[in-house]
Amino acid sequence: MADFTAKDVQRLRQNTGAGMMDSKNALQETAGDFEAAARLLREKGLAASAKRSDRENVQGAVAVAVTPEAGALVQLRSETDFVAKSAEFTKLASDLAEQVAAKGDGALAERQDDLDSLKVSLKENIEVGEVVRFDAADGAVIDSYLHVQNDRGVNGVLVEIEGGPRELAHDIAVHIAFARPEYLSRDDVPAALVEEARKELEAISRNEGKPEAALPKIVEGRLGGWYKERVLVDQPYAKEEKKTVAEVLGDARVRRFAQVTIGG
């Protein structure tokens, strides 16, 4: 008969997240070898989690980490917000962001065992989603903003600027979180998309009965409004809408930004 105690069963449950009977059976199968029992439960749990891999996982958490040299955003996906706001889940998301900021995307592989263990203990389709890392250029600074809802990050932003302080980068990150620009400048908007918008605005203006001779000026005016919805530097600044983001930046320049969200 396998030599183990009720305390061994309890310890195995705590270490693996398995149920009492599963833990007891694992210890029996491995003749009381704790490490072998834990490995057996983990293998069985991963086999079960593989069956869950096609289940939708649109919930989760976003974590952000910033060092003087780099910044990182990591999205960890789950099936439910109940799991996403659990302490184990949010901690792993934060740990992954710190790892990426410190070492790069490749560092995620170092935490695969932790990710696998979470899949087993929480019994959901959990996986890493979007990952973004910025290395700060010479003379540039990086800062971030993370909007937290129901005990987990749901909207994370990284901003890199040059010619301005880190506080300015943070303020712009806050703006981006809520204004959700798609492009940094007008030059970044695909020409085909601009042309499509111009044609649509021209058709709308013509259908409204605007004078044909005035259409070019009207369309360009409306196109300016279209840009304001999508282009960061053209947007009215969230904290002071009479100014554009470009005016708030002054002599500073946004080099790049990234936004990662949960649930759209």
C-alpha 121/C-alpha 15 separation (Å) is 9
C-alpha 32/C-alpha 53 separation (Å) is 32
Q: Which fold has domain 6-51?
A: Helicase, Ruva Protein; domain 3 (1.10.8)
Mean pLDDT, the chain, integer: 88
Is the pLDDT confidence value at 46 over 60?
A: no
C-alpha 240/C-alpha 237 separation (Å) is 5
How far lies 20's CA from each of 29, 33, 41, 49, in Å?
Answer: 14, 16, 12, 19
Least confident of 8-17, 70-79, 100-109, 228-237: 8-17
**Which residues have a Cβ under 8 Å from the Cβ of 150 and sit 6 or more positions away?**
81, 85
- For domain 190-230, the question of CATH label 3.30.2220 is answered with no
- Res 234: pLDDT: 97
Indicate left, alpha or beta for 230 from its phi (over 0: left) and psi (-120 to 50: alpha). alpha
User: Residues 98-103: what's their mean pLDDT?
Assistant: 95
User: Residues 223-242: what's their mean pLDDT?
Assistant: 95
Q: Which CATH superfamily is domain 59-185+232-261 in?
A: Elongation factor Ts, dimerisation domain (3.30.479.20)
User: In residues, how long is the chain?
Assistant: 264
Is the pLDDT confidence value at 44 over 70?
A: no
pLDDT in tens, 21-40: 777 777 887 877 888 887 77
Is the pLDDT confidence value at 216 over 60?
A: yes
Q: Domain-by-domain residue ranges, the chain?
A: 6-51, 59-185+232-261, 190-230
User: Residues 242-246: what's their mean pLDDT?
Assistant: 96
C-alpha 43/C-alpha 116 separation (Å) is 10
- Confidence category of residue 47, pLDDT binned at 50, 70, 90: very low
Q: Are 33 and 238 in contact (CB under 8 A)?
A: no
Is the pLDDT confidence value at 95 over 60?
A: yes
- Confidence category of residue 263, pLDDT binned at 50, 70, 90: confident
C-alpha 91/C-alpha 214 separation (Å) is 58
Least confident of 11-15, 134-138, 253-257: 11-15
Higher pLDDT, 142 or 9: 142
